[in-house]
Amino acid sequence: MASIVDFISQQVQSAAGGIEIPSNIKGQVLNGLSDSVLGSLKQTAASGASGINQIKELLSGKANAATSPITALAGNLFAKNVANKLGLGALGGTISNLIPSIMGNLSGFISDKDGDGDVDFNDILISLTGGSGSGILGAAKGLLGGLFGKKQ
């Protein structure tokens, strides 16, 4: 199973395929776009239960990616951290316009991966880690699973 980082990278590559990005900055732009999408998910998750619910709604396909605050945050992160720093001008706007499509393609990424009949925090963790429960993420899963009363 691919991690969400890999999946985001694939979606960015696919979405940006039709846009001419100068070769000397293409890697920075594509990595920046991926980092912005992932960063918006991380910042939203850090905001607590409401953020986790927003992510769950977006990634399970129950929220409209085009109007999601997570998508707006990704666009802001891209503009601030990539487009402005690289001086992309109109190209930055064109690339930013890909973000709702990329986020929309993430819809359905999270499903009932642990087989308990619902989409919950465990499913989000499994999706975000690509099924790997090792290291800090494994510890976080155990701790947070305990907090939410879920068995591992």
Structural domain of 131? 111-152
Please check whether residues 117 and 102 belong to one and the same domain. no
- The predicted pLDDT at position 141 comes to 47
Q: Are residues 95 and 105 in the same domain?
A: yes
- Do you know the residue count of the chain? 152
The one-letter amino acid at 138 = G
Same domain, 138 and 87: no
CB atoms < 10 A from the CB of 13, how many?
Answer: 12
3-class DSSP assignment, residue 132:
coil
Q: How far apart are CA 134 and CA 53, in angstroms?
A: 24
Distance, in Å, from the CA atom of 32 to the CA atom of 12, rounded to the nearest integer, reads: 10
Residue 138 Cα distances to 83, 123, 130, angstroms: 35, 13, 12
Residues of the chain with pLDDT under 50: 133-144, 146-152
Determine the Cα–Cα distance for residues 93 and 22; give it in Å rounded to an integer. Answer: 15
Question: Would you tell me how many other CB atoms lie within 10 Å of the CB of residue 118?
Answer: 8
Q: Please tell me the total count of domains within the chain.
A: 2
In the prediction, which pLDDT does 95 show? Answer: 94
**pLDDT value, residue 96:** 93
Greatest distance between any 2 Cα atoms in the chain? 50
Q: CA–CA separation, 114 vs 48, rounded Å? A: 22
- Position 142 scores a pLDDT of 47
| Residues 116, 104 share a domain | no
106 and 117 belong to one structural domain: no
Q: Is residue 93 domain-shared with residue 145, that is, in the same domain?
A: no
DSSP string, 26-54: HHHHHHHHHHHHHHHHHHHHHT-HHHHHH
Phi, psi of 112, rounded to the nearest 5 degrees: -70, 85
φ, ψ (nearest 5 deg) of residue 11 = -65, -40
Indicate if 97 and 126 belong to the same structural domain. no
Q: Are residues 15 and 33 in the same domain?
A: yes
- Residue 124: per-residue pLDDT: 66
Same domain, 94 and 145: no
Do 102 and 118 belong to one domain? Answer: no
pLDDT of residue 119: 67
Question: Are residues 43 and 117 located together in one domain of the fold?
Answer: no
Verify that 23 and 57 share a domain, yes or no.
yes
6-30 pLDDT per residue, tens: 888 888 999 988 899 999 999 999 9
